Amino acid sequence: MCGIVGYIGNRRAYDILIQGLHRLEYRGYDSSGVAMISETGELNIYKSKGKVEALERYAVDKDLGGNIGIAHTRWATHGEPNDINAHPHYSQSGRIALVHNGTIENYSVLKEALIQQGYKFVSQTDTEVAVQLIEYIMTTNNCSLFDAVKEAAKRIVGAYAIAVVDRENPGQIIAARQSSPLVIGVGEGEYFLASDATPIIEYTNKVVYLNDGEIAVINRDEELKVYHINGADQSKIEITELQMSIEQLEKGGYPHFMLKEIFEQPRTLADCISGRITADGKSIVLAGVTDHKERFLNAGRIIIVACGTSWHAALIGKHLFEDFCRIPVAVEYASEFRYSNPVVTDKDVLIALSQSGETADTLAALELAKSKGAFVFGICNVIGSSIPRATHSGCYIHVGPEIGVASTKAFTGQVTVLAMMALLIGQMKGTVDAETLETVANDIRRVPTLIKEIFKLNDKIEDLAKIFTYAHNFLYLGRGYNFPSALEGALKLKEISYIHAEGYPAAEMKHGTIALIDNDMPSVVIAIKDHVYDKTVNNIQQVKARGGKVVAIVTEGDTVVKEMADYVIEVPQISECLTPLLTAIPLQLLAYYIAVNKGRNVDQPRNLAKSVTVE
């Protein structure tokens, strides 16, 4: 949930660390800090509550020299966001500094034992235990930093990616990983370290992804070495070439990443589809599925585990797989699934759906299913992230880096991949006929163009947002394929505008929620022309009869809903199963403009972080 950066080479480390922290700020922005070893051998640590720019202001007149350093941007778990709890943390003697992403579950036991040994703690964090433990082991065993980290790693229970520097050895960074991501960039005579590749890409495209249980020894002017915590053998170092470009990480003239990412969707979906539908529109090409054809053909059930927006996409996936493949589908919150006692067998296919590929709950849920014999399949965006590396097979959504904390283009990418998978499996099973496949596949190809059409309504949606900026509550209603869209629309509004919003199945509303409806409670109703259109029209009548205001998302040319709704947004006609790809766009824009009107920090909403790598 936090972001880590590290550098060792010949440049001024501070500049690289700060730039890297800006790139990783989406992972947490409660506080940030840097530690550099200066040319004169000082270990200088500067930390500040708040965003990276607060740290820059604080550090402006300090000694920023040195070409080795580590840095951190925090999403608080243990201890409130303040300067003291900010990372890097340093050991009692002030010799060692450490940054950490993850949570140390047995920190109170370790802390108590260290206090017994005379160690004093200054912060409320779990992380400080790690740095004190490393120093304790180094002193009592009279060993190297590497040996001390290795030993500490064996005693720590929990998730961690750590980077450690020792003032007495200014030519070395030690890094270790267990269940939290860590990437090492290999440059010419320099190394970079980060929680993901975004801080690295502008310097080198050669990276090494650390695996769980590995420790990297990064020495200046020496070859990178990676060891397993439980043995002295060097792991095989696999250098991966990144495909990402630096332009993908910039705002490209938009005021916010979220707006840029909404407007990128025609292109990102074209990338997502590219090469996956044959030119004649008659077949789907997804090697991750066909290479394991038998597992899908024999699947007694598909379980999809996910969180947040990905969970909403998973609900759409359930409709798709059940409609096209006639395979029963269970959609589970990963955080619930992992602590339930799920019945999973080797006949099950478990799909882990995650933009980041790092969500701790989703990763744990897939590991649980794998241990019970299920075939596990990942649908992720971030290439080389933990989930794709833990699955038997998978499929990337290929929508490029998503930086805004509110997920937009990943959602449409996920739904698109799920639709293509459902068609392919349906074709393999014989549960989808050739004509339906061709119609839906061709409609998938039309989606980028149709989204461009919807963008013509941008100004109208911006105006609509002005009308509703000061509402305190919203209801989002939808049915069938668009009930998950209602949930997603409500989540978008909540997370970036801080307005309470509830997503609900339109017909279920009459069993209680309808009591909330009055003139002050706007309802956003997705009422496109699907097989339950008439029913949804009834639901709109029920809202109007109670004096509620209705914003309706309708199919182009609709005249019925236009008569009864207060405001109408039209989206083009498309196969019913693909309508969530179109209805998502006005819902994303509406949430965005309301949040902007309220002066919210759209890209970094309070209390949130982009990838949730803690429980």
Task: State the residues that interact with ligand M6R by CB under 6 A.
Answer: 307-310, 354-356, 359, 362, 405-407, 491, 495, 608, 611-612
Nearer to ligand M6R, 405 or 553 (CB): 405
User: Least distance (Å) from ligand M6R to the CB of residue 418?
Assistant: 13
Nearer to ligand M6R, 127 or 309 (CB): 309
The Cα–Cα gap between 571 and 582 comes to 7
Residues with Cβ within 8 Å of 559's Cβ and at least 6 positions away in sequence, in order, are none
User: Least distance (Å) from ligand M6R to the CB of residue 487?
Assistant: 11
The Cα–Cα gap between 311 and 299 comes to 21
Q: Clarify whether 325 is annotated catalytic.
A: no
Nearer to ligand M6R, 2 or 406 (CB): 406
Nearer to ligand M6R, 302 or 612 (CB): 612
The Cα–Cα gap between 123 and 120 comes to 10
Beta-ladder partners of 501: 474
Q: Report how far apart, in Å, the C-alpha atoms of 125 and of each of 129, 138, 164, 252, 445 are.
A: 8, 21, 16, 37, 50
User: Least distance (Å) from ligand M6R to the CB of residue 611?
Assistant: 5
Residues with Cβ within 8 Å of 32's Cβ and at least 6 positions away in sequence, in order, are 21, 25, 47, 48, 50, 51, 52, 54, 55, 71, 72, 73, 74, 86
The Cα–Cα gap between 69 and 350 comes to 41
Beta-ladder partners of 538: none
Nearer to ligand M6R, 532 or 614 (CB): 614
Cis peptide bond upstream of 88, omega within 30: yes
User: Least distance (Å) from ligand M6R to the CB of residue 285?
Assistant: 24
User: Least distance (Å) from ligand M6R to the CB of residue 524?
Assistant: 17
User: Least distance (Å) from ligand M6R to the CB of residue 309?
Assistant: 3
Please tell me whether residue 1 adopts helix, strand or coil conformation: coil
The Cα–Cα gap between 208 and 239 comes to 5
The residue sitting closest to ligand M6R, measured at its beta carbon, is 308
User: Least distance (Å) from ligand M6R to the CB of residue 2?
Assistant: 15
Structure tokens at 594: 């309301």
Nearer to ligand M6R, 178 or 309 (CB): 309
Name the residue with tokens 């950066």.
5
In this structure, are residues 75 and 101 in contact, taking their beta carbons and an 8 Å threshold? no
Please tell me whether residue 329 adopts helix, strand or coil conformation: strand
User: Least distance (Å) from ligand M6R to the CB of residue 484?
Assistant: 13
Q: Report how far apart, in Å, the C-alpha atoms of 427 and of each of 270, 275, 282, 446 are.
A: 22, 18, 10, 21
Catalytic residue among 2, 307, 380, 577: 2
Residue 489 amino acid letter:
G
Nearer to ligand M6R, 44 or 335 (CB): 335
User: Least distance (Å) from ligand M6R to the CB of residue 513?
Assistant: 22
Please tell me whether residue 52 adopts helix, strand or coil conformation: helix
Nearer to ligand M6R, 135 or 358 (CB): 358
The Cα–Cα gap between 420 and 89 comes to 47
Nearer to ligand M6R, 73 or 309 (CB): 309
Nearer to ligand M6R, 354 or 523 (CB): 354
Nearer to ligand M6R, 180 or 575 (CB): 180
Sign for the CA dihedral angle at 245, 222, 134, 93 comes to negative
Cα-flanking dihedrals φ and ψ of residue 213, to 5°?
Answer: 80, 10
The Cα–Cα gap between 344 and 229 comes to 31
In this structure, are residues 97 and 85 in contact, taking their beta carbons and an 8 Å threshold? no
The CA angle 477-483-488, to the nearest 5 degrees, is 85
User: Least distance (Å) from ligand M6R to the CB of residue 497?
Assistant: 13
Name the residue with tokens 């639709």.
419
Exposure string of 575-612, with b = 16+ CB inside 10 Å and e = fewer, is bbbbbbbbbbbbbbbbbbbbbbeeebebbbbeebbbbb
User: Least distance (Å) from ligand M6R to the CB of residue 358?
Assistant: 7
Name the residue with tokens 């004649």.
280
CA 407 to chain centre: 8
Catalytic residue among 47, 409, 494, 610: 610
DSSP string covering 338-399: TTS-----TTEEEEEEESSS--HHHHHHHHHHHHTT-EEEEEESSTT-HHHHHSSEEEE---
Q: Clarify whether 143 is annotated catalytic.
A: no
The Cα–Cα gap between 188 and 326 comes to 54
Mind telling me the catalytic residues? 2, 610
